[in-house]
Amino acid sequence: MIGSESLTVKFAELELRNPTMLASGFLGISQKFLDRIYRSGAGCLVSKSLSNSPIEGYRNPTVIDLDGKSYINAVGLANPGFEAFAKEIQANKTPLILSLVGSHQKDFVHMVKRLDKLNILGFEINLSCPHVKKMGMEVGDDLEMVRSIVRQVRVNTPKPFFIKLGVGNIDILKLAEVARDEKASGVTAINTIRAMAINVQTGSPILSNGIGGLSGRSIKPVAVRCVYEISKKLGMPVIGCGGIFTWEDAVEFLLAGASAVQIGSGIGNKGIGVFKSISRGIRNYLENKGFRNVRDIVGLAHKY
């Protein structure tokens, strides 16, 4: 019987008790929920994306449940602003990564400088939200802007930081390569994918914003492919995200080259107990296959 230490992962200057992480956008906006999710078994937590100033977001409806395992959302990056959240987590004792979103390199530099002194593990730079103008993907589709942002973030923090990438107008490998070359600690792949749904009775888009981001089971094969290619071709740390509901899903991402996995839609489907159930399944898998540690299976699919 292998112990809980078999789930410990070490990558990009991070050491987590297990490879499961709370994905940005799910319950990550208050210290109370962060503490609760960590107690439920997550190895690390990622906050909701924070901006320089508060963002109200879009009016309802903002989320469409397609089948219980896939969703389209356009919340609009609603958040209280990074200053308010900094006060919320003054007493934070959980392994926390702050997700940041902005329109220009100065936005990220300002936030990083102010937040760097807090008790956090590092940052996730969201350059791939698919449904907010002048933020997210509109920034991430500009290679030189990405280069400038990553370079300036690196200059202003010694902490690990990850660039969250999506499937947009530029090859994700090119974006990941820029992140690597400018000394980002790694990347998170992938964000939601631009999508929409239309009410056939009224003829109008269902979401108030019209366009949203597809998440959950529907995007998992795309996410696995992206993780596989980035990890194999660029040899950099990758956090996998997209459609992880079970331990089998998590193991698939690990085999593709992910050092850890983020869970979002899986919480909506299975509740916060999903972290413990996935970790338990990974440990049983390792024992049955004769592996001593989860790190032993990261990228194993590359040899085929």
Structure tokens at 172: 């994700």
Contact 246, 284 (CB under 8 A): no
Phi and psi (nearest 5°) for 37? Answer: -70, -35
For residues 86 and 93, what is the distance between their CA atoms, to the nearest angstrom? 13
The catalytic residue among 44, 129, 226, 241 is 129
How many other CB atoms are there within 10 angstroms of residue 156's CB atom? Answer: 16
How many other CB atoms are there within 10 angstroms of residue 200's CB atom? Answer: 7
Is 129 labeled as catalytic in the residue annotation?
yes
Structure tokens at 47: 């906050």
Q: Which residues of 113-148 are buried (b: 16+ CB within 10 A; e: fewer)?
A: eebeeeebbbbbbbbbbbbbeebbbbbbbeeebbbb
Known catalytic residues are: 129
